[in-house]
């Protein structure tokens, strides 16, 4: 009964998001307060059983002359509140990922090289794909920069800034994030 009531309350909240996305799987939930009106979600694909916390800011940023940007969040991901996911090219979050609260993933940056113009007038620099493979855990307040590829079952420490890519089963932390442990498959129970 409680479950049904929760669904009845939660479903209407998700309707504007559902309408704007390309595809949404079964059992999707998103908390209230997400950005919607100025956010382009044309090419956002969400798998089955995905939950996103409140106040999410998810958007694709189409650039002139570039392929349509995409965001894909695959099955069974849980994403905490205040997440920022902004793709000018491609961001993929693999299945079974746990993304904690206040995490940001942006595959582009504000351009700033021209010293005669303030960055706010320089547009966006060259975007680079972000790929988070399955079973990863991104700790609270972590920031994933453009071009980062994390292999399966990577663990990112709280408050980390991830500026480079890491192979599967890496535990990384810090600013910039460095490998602090290697979880090999022999750790599988
Ligand atoms: C990254 C993390 C998983 C590491 O756990 P661990 O493998 O048990 O690591 P340890 O605690 O043994 O620490 C190993 C080293 O990394 C450092 N370290 C651990 N977490 C760190 C972090 N977030 N940032 C910077 N350094 C960190 C430790 O200080 C230690 O350094 P030392 O060897 O110089 O003493 C954990 O510290 C963490 O940040 N978890 C995320 C918490 C979180 O976001 N929770 C929200 C849940 S929704």
Whether the CB of 84 sits within 6 Å of ligand 1: no
Please give the number of the atom of ligand 1 that sits closest to the Cα of 156. 1
- Name the closest-CA residue to atom 44, ligand 1: 139
Tens of pLDDT along the chain (189 residues)? 777 777 778 889 999 999 999 999 999 999 999 999 888 999 999 999 999 999 999 999 988 888 899 999 999 999 999 999 999 999 999 999 999 999 999 999 999 999 999 999 999 999 999 999 999 999 999 999 999 999 999 999 999 999 999 999 999 999 999 999 999 866 777
All domains of the chain, ordered by start, with CATH? 2-186 (2.160.10.10)
Whether the CB of 100 sits within 6 Å of ligand 1: yes
| Cα–Cα distance, 122 to 114 (Å, whole number) | 8
Whether the CB of 139 sits within 6 Å of ligand 1: yes
Whether the CB of 121 sits within 6 Å of ligand 1: no
Using a 10 angstrom Cβ sphere, with 0-12 exposed, 13-18 middle and 19 or more buried, the burial of residue 36 is middle
Please give the number of the atom of ligand 1 that sits closest to the Cα of 181. 7
| Cβ proximity of 174 and 137 under 8 Å | no
Please give the number of the atom of ligand 1 that sits closest to the Cα of 100. 48
Q: Is the pTM of this model over 0.85?
A: yes
Please give the number of the atom of ligand 1 that sits closest to the Cα of 141. 44
| Cβ proximity of 86 and 62 under 8 Å | no
Whether the CB of 171 sits within 6 Å of ligand 1: yes
Whether the CB of 181 sits within 6 Å of ligand 1: yes
């Amino acid at each position: 009964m409680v479950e049904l009531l929760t669904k009845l309350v939660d479903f209407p909240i998700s309707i504007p998001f559902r309408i704007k996305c390309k595809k949404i799987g079964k059992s999707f939930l998103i908390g209230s307060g997400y950005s919607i009106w100025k956010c382009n979600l044309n090419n956002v694909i969400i798998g089955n059983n995905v939950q996103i916390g409140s106040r999410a800011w998810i958007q694709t940023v189409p650039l002139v002359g570039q392929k349509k940007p995409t965001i894909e969040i695959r099955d069974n991901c849980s994403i905490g509140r205040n997440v920022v996911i902004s793709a000018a090219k491609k961001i993929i979050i693999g299945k079974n990922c746990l993304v904690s609260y206040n995490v940001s993933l942006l595959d582009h940056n504000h351009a700033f090289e021209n010293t005669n113009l303030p960055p706010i007038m320089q547009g966006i620099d060259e975007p680079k794909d972000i790929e988070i493979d399955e079973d990863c855990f991104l700790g609270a307040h972590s920031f994933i920069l453009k071009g980062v590829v994390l292999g399966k079952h990577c663990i990112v420490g709280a408050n980390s800034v991830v500026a480079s890519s890491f192979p599967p089963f890496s535990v990384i932390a810090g600013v910039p994030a460095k490998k602090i442990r290697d979880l090999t498959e022999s750790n599988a129970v």
